[in-house]
Amino acid sequence: MRVAIDVSPLAQTRAGTARYLKGLTRELERRDDVAVSTRSFGGKSRLSTLARDGVWYPFLLGRERAADVLHCPTYRGPLRSRVPLVVTVHDLAVLRHPEAFNRWTRTYSPRVVPAVLRAARRVIAVSDFTRRELVELLGVPDAKIRVVPNAVGDEFTQEGPAEAGDYVLAVGTLEPRKNLDRLVEAIGKTDRELRVVGARGWGGVEVRGNGVRWLGEVDDTELARLYRGAACVAYPSLYEGFGIPVLEAMACGAPVVTTRGTAMEEVADGAAVLVDARDPAEIAAGIERAAAERETLVPRGLERARAFRWDAVAAATVEVYKEALA
């Protein structure tokens, strides 16, 4: 089976979508039943974004003929496709929280995304939470959706060096829905340091305060080191479709604090402390609880993380390709 995969998101991000693309394509390329080729357009500039979203995705990418299946790893995709189209949806945050996105994204997405999903033969949701959002917000038929979770890379393991210090680690792009302002307020109620890993994003989000350090982007080796050394990892995001840092942290042996009633609760499945992310005092209490319950939470987290493997993701995705071709 010949599969063409859009890798344009790699020019824009190193966050969750990039992790998905890298993990999936690596495992697909190891399989004998799939021949993978990649498609991409443009770079990170605003002009590239406008050209990609306005011309390449809706009108040009769908002319693909050299593959049996076209896979778009985000809901950016063609309005019509000459070959069966599979689209992965990571979240619908832009519909739930449009105020957290720039003007282009919150204007473009509600107009174009529904048409892209109608053009798709199959839609992959990375969690049951996202599947429900697709049905509720966009009316995507449930029979068209397949849930294929993300996974965790082999570099994220409990074995290896750990960073020194009594610190709480937060991981994520600096943007409004990551809820970093409340996390900074929460950390002020503890005696711990907060270290934040993530690229500068949008919405004017800064991480400042006594005992707060923004480390910017780091490579995965350094990130795993930071996970291992953390008293706990705090991920009180307001909205995610999955929450890969929760899984990475658990795989590295770190206790986790994350948001109740979200996809992260689904991912953690009892292996994390859950809090109301809009309440800094509850986040602070959750941080102290996670650190205190380390001996209980870490084994649960390690066991949970082992259930998410990229080879299993690839195998399930190939089955979706076969359905799209049927």
Average pLDDT, the chain: 94
**pTM score, two decimals?**
0.92
pLDDT of residue 207: 84
Domain coordinates in residue numbering, the chain = 2-151+309-325, 167-305
DSSP run (H or E) holding 275: strand 273-275
Residue with tokens 């990892």: 233
Buried b (16+ CB within 10 A) or exposed e, 164-180: eeebbbbbbbbbbbbbb
CATH 3.40.570.10 fits 167-305, yes or no: no
125 to 165, 224, 231: CA distances (angstroms): 38, 26, 32
Is the fold of 2-151+309-325 the same as that of 167-305?
yes
Q: What is the pLDDT of residues 277-292, one digit of tens each?
A: 999 999 999 999 999 9
Return d(Cα 298, Cα 161) in angstroms, integer.
Answer: 17
| pLDDT, position 208 | 81
**Could you tell me which CATH number the domain at 2-151+309-325 has?**
3.40.50.2000
Q: What is the tens place of the pLDDT at every residue in 41-79? A: 988 888 888 999 999 999 999 999 999 999 999 999 999
